[in-house]
A and B are shown apart, each in its own frame.
Chain A
């Protein structure tokens, strides 16, 4: 039996790596990848505590979240592709035409 505190440490480290990636990176695709890491962090918690509590619902959530993450990347890449077609860049600093 793994001590549940290990799940929490692992997942919070993953969450912080993901959040750091979202805040720090200028490239939209890397930001999407960092969001995936954050979703994985939540999944670690769900799966770990699912086995700790002997309750299947956490694993079901993990499956759904994986599917949701795939859909998110599909939509994200589609939008970023049409952004790239117009501006030849996906640098986030250059998304500055909507401003006051």
Chain B
């Protein structure tokens, strides 16, 4: 079959982005929007899995990588793996949203349209093969999420979070665009291959001139934009406010999907394109990693709002993943990819529970988790597994991915780059430190009695999704860790090749 059929998942999303506003005109039924979005997302998910991992069933050849749209769109192991994660998170968010909204919540069609267009932006980013496409993908996803964060117009916190997110986001994306323009000024090319060939030419002396400082400055500018998306330390200030203020399903999308998208962009730009740029640059990335895991964990300890605490823990997790980028070996990269994947599910799962507890009226404070185990064993257990996974306690999924990440980096460190060992050591110490605040939530859930004895019914959709995530983190990933790692290794091979 023609290779452009691989664009079908994106087309499916585009179709329903256009269909949902149309449904709003033709039908009064509020469920139709969520059904349309769920259907298109599950269709895209099924097609992604089948067309890439079981290509024989629809008589396709799986080439190593496929280029469509005049080489602007690259489909390979790396992009497809992350597209599956994006679509899966969006599907979870879409399912949870229905039970999170009140019966007559206004602007539902807009919400689902924005959710789908945000996912579309993430998928475009994953497949981007030049700086223009990656920039447009990031912006498409970012603009949709600005509007989603400020989606509850009457909610004071939601609007404030939206305004902060928008202003900081616009500023940092302008900075990264300037960095891209500097790269274009030096290399005269916008494709990843062109820029990489130029840098290789500089290193091997084919191209004359000394552009080290300019490339360093351009990388700093680009890092400012991408660092905002993944919320690493100098660019993290928005994250706690936005995670706390936004409607919780949107927070789940930001923490799981948008963050993974930022890492996809970082991997593409810094591992594939700028890998050979300079030694100092690795040091900068190492310092960013160190600072963000320490700051994130220290700041999380004193938080009282669970959303805010998880936001700081998310900053720390970004720091862990960042240590693989200076290491740059294919093993460290596959560890980083694995941890990004698993992080999407653990953070998504935690925010599903947070959103559910908030939506039934218990609130978002630590106190509202008192005695959650007596109210719903399943939700408490799911939250516990997500949190233990975030710490990296065996046998949960977070342990496996974090182990690969640290092991891969440590190996490079022992092979000569000694300063990487410090990064790994600080990472391990930070994991121990983070146990404190995760255990605090668990203590509130299990050891205290509920503050009121009223009966609270949790919506069924949320319980099924929590159960699914629990199963994924506690059973499926630990049992099939080899195939998970195989997928990540293929992805990192596709990335570095």
- Give the interface of A toward B (CB within 8 A): 4, 7-8, 11, 15, 18-19, 22, 28, 31-32, 35, 38-39, 41-43, 45-46, 48-49, 52-53, 55, 57-58, 60-61, 64-65, 68, 71-72, 75-76, 78-80, 82-83, 85-87, 90, 92, 95, 97-100
Instruction: Tell me if A72 and B185 are in contact (CB < 8 A).
Output: no
CB closest residue in chain B, given A65: B177
B-side interface size class: 35 or more
Tell me which of B154, B163, B180, B184 contacts A79 (CB under 8 A).
Answer: B163
| CA A62 to CA B143, docked complex, whole Å | 19
| CA A60 to CA B164, docked complex, whole Å | 30
Query: Considering the complex, which residues of chain B in the window 102-119 have a beta carbon less than 8 Å from any beta carbon of chain A?
Result: none
Could you give 30 example pairs across A and B, Cβ below 8 Å? A11-B181, A19-B171, A28-B163, A32-B167, A35-B167, A35-B170, A35-B171, A38-B174, A38-B178, A39-B174, A39-B177, A42-B178, A48-B185, A58-B184, A60-B132, A64-B136, A75-B147, A79-B147, A79-B159, A79-B163, A82-B159, A83-B159, A83-B162, A83-B163, A86-B159, A98-B157, A98-B160, A98-B164, A99-B241, A100-B303
Instruction: Tell me if A95 and B164 are in contact (CB < 8 A).
Output: yes
| CA A46 to CA B188, docked complex, whole Å | 9
B271 at the interface (CB under 8 A from A): no
Instruction: Tell me if A95 and B185 are in contact (CB < 8 A).
Output: no
Closest Cβ of chain B to A7, distance in Å, is 7
CB closest residue in chain B, given A62: B181
Instruction: Tell me if B132 and A41 are in contact (CB < 8 A).
Output: no
| CA A39 to CA B163, docked complex, whole Å | 19
Instruction: Tell me if A80 and B163 are in contact (CB < 8 A).
Output: yes
Instruction: Tell me if B160 and A82 are in contact (CB < 8 A).
Output: no
Given contacts A72-B143, A75-B146, whether A41 and B178 have CB atoms under 8 Å apart is: yes
Closest Cβ of chain B to A1, distance in Å, is 15
Query: Considering the complex, which residues of chain B in the window 134-186 have a beta carbon less than 8 Å from any beta carbon of chain A?
Result: 135-136, 139, 143, 146-147, 150, 153-154, 156-157, 159-164, 166-167, 170-171, 174-175, 177-178, 180-182, 184-185
Closest Cβ of chain A to B125, distance in Å, is 14
Residues in A neighbouring B159, C-beta threshold 8 A: 79, 82-83, 86
Tell me which of A8, A42, A71, A97 contacts B177 (CB under 8 A).
Answer: A42
Closest Cβ of chain A to B322, distance in Å, is 24
Residues in B neighbouring A49, C-beta threshold 8 A: 181, 184-185, 188
| CA A31 to CA B164, docked complex, whole Å | 12
Extra pairs beyond A38-B174, A38-B175, A90-B163 (7, CB < 8 Å): A19-B171, A46-B184, A75-B143, A79-B162, A79-B163, A97-B156, A98-B245
CB closest residue in chain B, given A61: B132
B483 at the interface (CB under 8 A from A): no
- The proximity string for B residues 468-479 relative to A, scoring 1 for CB distances below 8 Å and 0 otherwise, is 000000000000
Given contacts A82-B150, A95-B160, A98-B161, whether A4 and B185 have CB atoms under 8 Å apart is: yes
CB closest residue in chain A, given B190: A57
CB closest residue in chain A, given B312: A100
| CA A43 to CA B139, docked complex, whole Å | 16
| CA A75 to CA B305, docked complex, whole Å | 28
Residues in B neighbouring A4, C-beta threshold 8 A: 185
Instruction: Tell me if A68 and B170 are in contact (CB < 8 A).
Output: no
Tell me which of B170, B182, B189, B303 contacts A76 (CB under 8 A).
Answer: B170
| CA A76 to CA B244, docked complex, whole Å | 20
Instruction: Tell me if B167 and A86 are in contact (CB < 8 A).
Output: no
Instruction: Tell me if A53 and B188 are in contact (CB < 8 A).
Output: yes
B302 at the interface (CB under 8 A from A): yes
CB closest residue in chain A, given B169: A72
Residues in B neighbouring A15, C-beta threshold 8 A: 178
CB closest residue in chain A, given B302: A100
Instruction: Tell me if B143 and A71 are in contact (CB < 8 A).
Output: yes
Residues in B neighbouring A85, C-beta threshold 8 A: 153
| CA A43 to CA B177, docked complex, whole Å | 9
Closest Cβ of chain B to A91, distance in Å, is 11
Max chain B CB contacts within 10 Å: which of A22, A85, A90? Answer: A22
Instruction: Tell me if B153 and A28 are in contact (CB < 8 A).
Output: no
Residues in B neighbouring A87, C-beta threshold 8 A: 156
Instruction: Tell me if A42 and B181 are in contact (CB < 8 A).
Output: yes
Residues in B neighbouring A68, C-beta threshold 8 A: 135-136, 139
Residues in B neighbouring A64, C-beta threshold 8 A: 132, 135-136
B240 at the interface (CB under 8 A from A): yes
B375 at the interface (CB under 8 A from A): no
B347 at the interface (CB under 8 A from A): no
CB closest residue in chain A, given B182: A45
| CA A22 to CA B175, docked complex, whole Å | 12
- The proximity string for B residues 269-286 relative to A, scoring 1 for CB distances below 8 Å and 0 otherwise, is 000000000000000000
Given contacts A38-B174, A42-B174, whether A82 and B136 have CB atoms under 8 Å apart is: no
* 3 closest A-B pairs by CB: A45-B181, A38-B174, A53-B188
